[in-house]
Amino acid sequence: MRVLFASSEIYPFAKTGGLADVSYSLPKALSEIGVSVKTVMPLYGCVDTEKFGIRSTGRKVRVSLSAGDFEFEVYHLSDGVEHYFLKNFLFGREYLYGTPEGDYPDNDVRFGAFCHAVVKLIEDGFFRGEIVHVNDWQTSLIPVLIKRKGLRIRTLQTIHNLAYQGVFPKETVERLNLGWELFNMEALEFWGKVNFLKGGIVFSDAVSTVSPTYAREITTPEFGFGLDGVLRKYSYKLFGILNGIDYDVWNPETDRYIYINYTESSIGNKEENKRYFVKETGLREGDWPLFVFIGRLAKQKGIDLFMEKLNEIRELPANFAILGTGDSYYNEFFNSIKGKYENIFVEVAFDEPLSRKMYASADFLLMPSLYEPCGLNQMIAMRYGTLVVARKTGGLADTVRDISEPGGYGFLFEEFNSDEFLSSVKRAVEFYRSNRERLLRLKQFVMGIDFSWNSSALKYFRLYENLIEGRIR
């Protein structure tokens, strides 16, 4: 079986979020079960070709659109998976999608031209295979173009976050030579504009998203971001497959960034990590539980709930550490409280080494998300023996079981409000103070839960098989 995996970002070459992690780990896991996988992404200006050994193949492909003529040069790297990169001046900028001030205004042309180039390489026989697997809106025009050209290859569209859809002015139809006949409610049109992701949903042979609960949620108005009706119409081809994490990348036994390595059997070293972290960050020393938040500072991640209850949180017998960056409103708020409270450490930045220290040191991870398609942080946290305090939504509902339930190992709340969030934090604090032996056992238990890609890769393999054999109709 041959699969072309198209994504706008792949770790470690370029990354803004979890899409990059999945786009590295899933192809790797598929290759390990015998699938021949090739990945393709834009070659951004920020990609260090010398560091990674990325070399030109000498192959070029030209795309002629109303927006202009664009020549892409094909680059390549093999590391067990065949990685391809398409180089063009459109992607030679400092950032992937836009500056801190906003998205690049020509993202429709940038990613539209990229999609055209990928399809042209399929037409020319450079990419051969049975399946093209595209991810999020940036690659969603690939299934549209494949169907329009009548190419005999099956397509799978994966939605990693429905909130990001690639919506552009209707003139994009002409700029990208898509044909005005596609500008209708049954195809690309969305409230008078062009919606790339909608095109991927409509024209792909199957649609997947990154957890079973999220697959159900996005067919409702609450989580559908205006596409719930489309997703209900195509629910027969909608599947929820939980993401995994790469156990080679996330491993407290070998992680070179943490203070002391440890395993389930040496879980006591996790407490030593906490002691080092508290000392390094200047947090209040003593026998306090450590709660950490690691992620984007944005409404989706529920950081507002922490902000609303800041006065109560700083009075709790616990330490807190916040790491992340995001919208300027949140950045400014957390910078304003940096160093202000003895039990709250703040770092407004993207810092992977520091995040690993936090996973290794924490007792509890905070994930009070408004919505969470899958979430990788809770899986990483548990891999490092950290329990999770989270809202019961999306992938969090599929991976965390509340402590009050038989076999429970986390702290969940239902409604998105700060009172319920604070109540869950207080439950965790009380559990830390009164159930130390059980807490230690639960830390060992969650380290043993299998969040690797093994199971999920097999589910994708079966979905590919069903696509090839025409069983999804």
CA distances to 118, 370, 418 from 415, rounded to whole Å, are 43, 9, 9
Q: 159: closest CA among 15, 399, 373?
A: 373
Superfamily of domain 2-244+454-468: Glycogen Phosphorylase B; (3.40.50.2000)
Asked if pLDDT for residue 376 goes beyond 80, the answer is: yes
What region does 300 belong to: left with phi over 0, alpha with psi -120 to 50, or beta? alpha
What six digits make up the tokens of 20?
Answer: 């990059």
Sign of CA dihedral 17, 23, 29, 32: negative
What six digits make up the tokens of 105?
Answer: 């205004």
Asked if pLDDT for residue 370 goes beyond 80, the answer is: yes
DSSP secondary structure letter of residue 373: S
pLDDT value, residue 327: 86
* Distance, CA of 133 to CA of 27 (rounded, Å): 10
Q: By the 8 A CB rule, do 305 and 379 touch? A: no
Q: What is the CATH number of domain 264-447?
A: 3.40.50.2000
pLDDT value, residue 17: 85
Q: 47: closest CA among 16, 25, 68?
A: 16
Taking only the tens place, the pLDDT of each residue in 253-266 is: 999 999 999 999 99
Asked if pLDDT for residue 378 goes beyond 90, the answer is: yes
Quote the Cα angle for 39-40-41, to 5°: 130
Domain with CATH 3.40.50.2000 in the chain: 2-244+454-468, 264-447
Taking only the tens place, the pLDDT of each residue in 111-156 is: 999 999 999 999 999 999 999 999 999 999 999 999 999 999 999 9
CA atoms within 13 A on the CB side of 275: 8
- List 36's β-bridge partners, or say none: 2
Q: Is 19 in a helix, a strand, or coil?
A: helix
Taking only the tens place, the pLDDT of each residue in 342-359 is: 999 999 998 999 999 999
Taking only the tens place, the pLDDT of each residue in 171-225 is: 999 999 999 999 999 999 999 999 999 999 999 999 999 999 999 999 999 999 9
> Residues 440-457: what's their mean pLDDT?
96
Residues in the chain: 473
149 is in an annotated binding site: no
Q: 273: closest CA among 346, 356, 352?
A: 356
